[in-house]
Amino acid sequence: MGTVIVVTSGKGGVGKTTSSAAIGAALAQTGDSVALVDFDVGLRNLDLVLGAERRVVYDFVNVIQGQAKLSQALIRDKRIETLHLLAASQTRDKDALTEEGVEDVVGSLRETFDWVICDSPAGIERGAILAMRHADMAIVVTNPEVSSVRDSDRIIGLLDARTRRTEQGEAMEKHVLITRFDPTRAARGDMLAIDDVLEILSLPLIGIVPESQSVLKASNIGMPVVLADPSSDSARAYADAARRIKGESVDLAVPTVRRSLFGGLFRRAA
Amino acid sequence: MILRFFRLRRSAPVARDRLKVLLAHERAMTGRPDLVAVLREEILAVIRKHVPVDPGKVNVRADRDGSTSTLSVDIELSTMEPPRAAAA
């Protein structure tokens, strides 16, 4: 039986899809089998970030409505053979996902794959609730910025109230993944400190992904950053996060400005 | 000048403090997002039993300052006719 992980945030644009793709790919690179499921019906993007946008024949809604078998709808990644995608439907809306349909699909995936990663839509409505419904573990993607932290707090409240696990009185493992961390602004004292974010949200940290060109470039070419630029700080942060998800203990350092003091001053003055 | 520079330098602590106050309040409201509306209706119901109230002249405000939350209800009461008949 695999583990179901929801990647969620409340706020849009914080990096849920990018993080789902990168963590999924990193887990798959360790040899585990991974199914990435896009819950953002009507606004799918996981296919694009994975470079599989032209290979989507059947989607999540087709499977729920019985127009395709789950095995037909799963797209196997061309670069990592243990990585699979179940795309969201682009032409429907979120009401096309039914409670029972989602339960069946996630249940079947859990039997086949080591990890089922549910990429949640933004917001706190039906789509987001369905994405978290069957999760065993949650990754709350948060930017060190007031509106993102506030929305994360709201989502954490929903994780405690609306998931199958918590309804049954079982524990729900929740982690914060901080993305778009900017060491330069952090050094200036103009970005919420990691410790403050963790204290406010009262959750353990699974990784810190610095704001980076590598992540943007990876999306441009349709590759998870762990494949596109494996030596970049962001790729390493995701690879480390994947190892922590697997239960390994990996040291976690807050990214710092790497330029020399003079170089930094020079650049700012320029 | 130095103070100004110092203030400009650090917006993160301000962000942290604002968030802490806000979230403490929002968590207390969890499950009761409509608390203010419920209070408003029930308070009005009690007052209407005794005095006619024009719903347009009711002003309910929830406010918070640090760790205290306040609810202020302003109700403009309609002018009551003195009970002359009873006095006569």
Q: What are the pLDDT digits (tens) for A203-240?
A: 999 999 999 999 999 999 999 999 999 999 999 999 99
- pLDDT tens for each residue of A43-73: 999 999 999 999 999 999 999 999 999 999 9
What whole-number percentage of chain B has pLDDT above 90? 1
Tell which of B9, B10, B23 to mutate to test the A interface (max A CBs under 10 Å): B23
ipTM above 0.85, yes or no: no
For every residue of A105-120, DSSP letters joined together read HHHHHHHH-SEEEEEP
Burial class of residue A252 (count of CB atoms within 10 Å of its CB; 0-12, 13-18, 19+): middle
B9, B11, B19 member nearest A150 (Cβ): B19
CA dihedral A68, A72, A76, A78 (to 10 degrees): -110
B18 and chain A in contact, CB less than 8 A: yes
Task: Specify the pLDDT at position A251.
Answer: 93
Between A154, A189, A200, which is nearest B20 by CB?
A: A200
pLDDT at A270 over 60: no
pLDDT band at B52 (very low <50, low <70, confident <90, very high): confident
The whole-angstrom separation of Cα A85 and Cα A106 is 13
| Distance (Å, whole) CA A61 – CA B49 | 54
